[in-house]
Amino acid sequence: MAEPLRRRLPLLPLLLLAAGGLRAAERSGGSSSAMEELATEKEAEESHRQDSVSLLTFILLLTLTILTIWLFKHRRVRFLHETGLAMIYGLIVGVILRYGTPSTSGHDKPFSCSQEDRPFTTLLVNVSGKFFEYTLKGEISPGKIHNVEQNDMLRKVTFDPEVFFNILLPPIIFHAGYSLKKRHFFRNLGSILAYAFLGTAVSCFIIGNLMYGVVKLMKLVGQLSDKFYYTDCLLFGAIISATDPVTVLAIFNELHADVDLYALLFGESVLNDAVAIVLSSSIVAYQPTGENTHAFDAAAFFKSVGVFLGIFSGSFMMGAVTGVVTVNVTKFTKLHCFPLLETALFFLMSWSTFLLAEACGFTGVVAVLFCGITQAHYTYNNLSVESRSRTKQLFEVLHFLAENFIFSYMGLALFTFQKHIFSPVFIIGAFVAIFLGRAAHIYPLSFLLNLGRRHKISWSFQHMMMFSGLRGAMAFALAIRDTATYSHQMMFSTTLLIVFFTVWIVGGGTTPMLSWLNIRVGDHVPSVEEMSESHWLYFRVGVDPDQDPPPTNDSFQVLQGDGQDSARRNRTKQESAWLFRLWYSFDHNYLKPILTHSGPPLTTTLPSWCGLIAR
């Protein structure tokens, strides 16, 4: 037994060394794990800091824009609008971020997944036994695989396109509907609908066909490096047909330009945005059957037309119904006793209209626009005096901040967007196509409309409308929503340059153009009645003076036909389009009394046998 024991003794030191080595390895593994956790925490802290810096950058941009706007208003400078200022500041910050900040990450490494035939939205990667989650950001062409953005700061200031649609666009569109000047809008309703629907469709198809010819030319001269289909050209026509004459309208408002010209431009731009976004959705839905999915197919064409009508009508109904629901909530509850709760509910119901429409497959822009019009026409009469002022000012501030934020981001995007494709031929062709499309939109329609209009659209008005076809926030938001393919990237870069040109050059030339065309300005001067305390409150916050006055002891007499307000409503009814005149009586006699606290009593408008229901 002794000999075998002696032979085993040398093994003990080896076992002890092995055990010690295992413990050392465990300590080493534990320390490396702790180091990894510490590094992860540092990366999370650095990411949080960069998020704060990126948001602070935009807040400082808006602050600087506001201060410069005050200076321009103080000095009565009109050659550059606030949106143009925001774009310039965005450009400056974009240059600083692009060329003044060093690259902070260089750990991108390509992996091959040749066995898979499609990309995954979420990918789990096993790194040394630990699983990490990665999300899909988009496709990168093989030639640019080594040019992926390595600057974390530039990545942080590049927002998800859904941020524009779900957060920034709703207050802009809702404010357009909520602040609608009803008298002049309805007086020109037929012309506005013609420009917005028929004119936008004409502009879309003219621009799309002209750009298809430009694409064919680019293919002949060898400047087209990837696929660019006819449907892509039509989509570009729909995107770039969305006008946003915010600069021109602001100058019109400041100079008190002709009210009918203002109503035509404002009404067209409001409805034109809705038509353009539904039109782009219809073009995307165009899917011909067969091998060539981009050839003309009659069945697919009529299907797209049906999609357009279905989406627009469904979105319109959803916006109107949501507005009516808000009307009933404000009428049949005691919320007016609590203005803060009333304003909060109004805000949430209005914003939820956009999200509800998008969730149901409709278009939130159309829904929230008509929700705003419904709220202004009905809900506004049920709100308390404090809530009326609060809601107007709230959405006015949100509209101002969101719009300037988008224009600031446009300036940034020129330098921070990673997939720009600038083609001189495509850009020049786009400017020519837009000019011709706008001309075909304005002049022939104006000629046809003047055949039936009592107040003709003069040549000077037509020239001004032709000149005022600026592109802005909606065109940018539609273009940035999908930049996955070569054609869409070129369309986005071109749209960005078109917005820059129209805001700076066309917007800056508005005042000289008004003088050159001899369009009268300074028409509107607030009357003594408007300058009184009660009326000035509503005039100051942008409320349409044509809407019903707040309930007072003599409001019943006013609604029965006494006073200047009733005379003004009667004049509005007589001057308005025939379509509105058909609606006016039904609305004034039945809907207003049912949905609001204004209008004549139902006992006087309903037949006598409906007396019980009326009471």
275 lies in a domain?
yes
Q: What is the pLDDT of residue 299?
A: 73
Cβ neighbourhood burial of 507 (10 Å; 0-12, 13-18, 19+) = buried
- Nearest Cα residue to 375 out of 332, 338, 331: 331
Alpha helices in 75-158 (DSSP H): 82-100, 152-156
Q: What is the pLDDT of residue 302?
A: 78
Residue 300 in this model has a pLDDT that exceeds 90: no
Q: What is the pLDDT of residue 597?
A: 72
Confidence grade of residue 14 (pLDDT, cut at 50, 70, 90): very low
Mean pLDDT of 165-172: 87
Residue 450 and residue 343 in one domain? yes
Which is more confidently placed, 206 or 259?
206
Confidence grade of residue 429 (pLDDT, cut at 50, 70, 90): very high
CATH code, 499: 1.20.1530.20
186 lies in a domain?
yes
What SS3 class is residue 93?
Answer: helix
Residue 84 in this model has a pLDDT that exceeds 70: yes
Between 120-134, 186-200, 370-384, the lowest mean confidence (pLDDT) is in 120-134
Confidence grade of residue 541 (pLDDT, cut at 50, 70, 90): very low
Per-residue HEC secondary structure of 309-334 comes to HHHHHHHHHHHHHHHHHHHHHHHCCC
State the DSSP string of 290-311.
Answer: SS-TTS--HHHHHHHHHHHHHH
d(CA 465, CA 266): 10
Residue 351 in this model has a pLDDT that exceeds 70: yes
117 lies in a domain?
no
545 lies in a domain?
no
Mean pLDDT of the chain: 77
Which of 517, 549, 566 lies at the terminal end of a domain, its last residue?
A: 517
Residue 530 in this model has a pLDDT that exceeds 50: no
End-to-end CA distance of the chain, in Å? 116
d(CA 332, CA 552): 19
Mean pLDDT of 4-11: 41
Residue 489 and residue 587 in one domain? no
Residue 375 in this model has a pLDDT that exceeds 50: yes
Which of 517, 535, 553 lies at the terminal end of a domain, its last residue?
A: 517
Residue 180 in this model has a pLDDT that exceeds 90: no
Mean pLDDT of 276-294: 72
Handedness of CA 88, 94, 96, 99 (dihedral sign): negative
Q: What is the pLDDT of residue 544?
A: 42
Angle at 63 between CA 60 and CA 65, to 5 degrees: 110
Q: What is the pLDDT of residue 67?
A: 92
Q: What is the pLDDT of residue 561?
A: 37
Mean pLDDT of 313-330: 89
Residue 494 in this model has a pLDDT that exceeds 50: yes
Residue 46 in this model has a pLDDT that exceeds 90: no
336 lies in a domain?
yes
- Helices 259-284 and 200-220 pack at an angle, to 10 degrees, of 60
Residue 359: which residues within 8 A CB-CB, separation 6 or more? none
Confidence grade of residue 152 (pLDDT, cut at 50, 70, 90): low
Mean pLDDT of 269-274: 86
Token pair listed for 388: 């009326």
Number of domains in the chain: 2
Residue 558 in this model has a pLDDT that exceeds 70: no
In the block, residue with structure tokens 């965005």: 90
Residue 396 and residue 497 in one domain? yes
Residue 365 in this model has a pLDDT that exceeds 60: yes
Q: 42-56, 248-262, 477-491: which has the highest mean pLDDT? A: 477-491
Do 149 and 107 contact (CB within 8 A), yes or no? no
144 lies in a domain?
no
Q: What is the pLDDT of residue 356?
A: 93
Residue 585 and residue 453 in one domain? no
Q: What is the pLDDT of residue 532?
A: 41
Q: What is the pLDDT of residue 525?
A: 45
Residue 475 and residue 610 in one domain? no
Residue 314 and residue 419 in one domain? yes
- Nearest Cα residue to 255 out of 81, 440, 62: 81
State the DSSP string of 434-472.
Answer: HHHHHHHHHHHHHHHHHTT-SS---HHHHHHHHHT--B-
146 lies in a domain?
no
Residue 493 in this model has a pLDDT that exceeds 90: yes
In the block, residue with structure tokens 């064409």: 301
Nearest-Å Rg of the Cα atoms of the chain is 31
Residue 372 and residue 475 in one domain? yes
Q: What is the pLDDT of residue 18?
A: 45
**β-bridge mates for residue 132, sequence order:** 125
Confidence grade of residue 86 (pLDDT, cut at 50, 70, 90): confident
Confidence grade of residue 255 (pLDDT, cut at 50, 70, 90): confident
Mean pLDDT of 233-239: 92
d(CA 235, CA 229): 10
Q: What is the pLDDT of residue 113?
A: 66
The model's pLDDT over 56-65, given as tens digits with 9 standing for 90+, comes to: 888 998 899 8
Residue 168: which residues within 8 A CB-CB, separation 6 or more? 402, 405, 406, 473, 477
**Where in 523-591 does DSSP place strands (E)?**
none
Between 150-154, 180-184, 361-365, 423-427, the lowest mean confidence (pLDDT) is in 150-154
Residue 411 in this model has a pLDDT that exceeds 50: yes
Which of 465, 486, 517 lies at the terminal end of a domain, its last residue?
A: 517
Q: What is the pLDDT of residue 580?
A: 66
Mean pLDDT of 18-45: 60
Cβ neighbourhood burial of 103 (10 Å; 0-12, 13-18, 19+) = exposed
Residue 596 and residue 493 in one domain? no
Confidence grade of residue 283 (pLDDT, cut at 50, 70, 90): confident
Residue 397 and residue 487 in one domain? yes
Q: What are phi and psi of 357, to 5 degrees?
A: -65, -45
Percent of the chain with pLDDT over 70: 74
Cβ neighbourhood burial of 98 (10 Å; 0-12, 13-18, 19+) = middle
Residue 138: which residues within 8 A CB-CB, separation 6 or more? 419, 483, 484
Mean pLDDT of 138-151: 58
435 lies in a domain?
yes
- Helices 385-416 and 473-480 pack at an angle, to 10 degrees, of 60
Residue 437 and residue 506 in one domain? yes
In the block, residue with structure tokens 């917007």: 507
- Nearest Cα residue to 378 out of 187, 587, 613, 580: 587
Mean pLDDT of 392-405: 91
The pTM is what? 0.77
d(CA 158, CA 54): 9
Residue 494 and residue 596 in one domain? no
Mean pLDDT of 551-563: 37
Token pair listed for 282: 């219809």
Residue 473 and residue 597 in one domain? no
Full residue range of the structural domain in which residue 310 is found: 161-288+298-517
Confidence grade of residue 108 (pLDDT, cut at 50, 70, 90): low
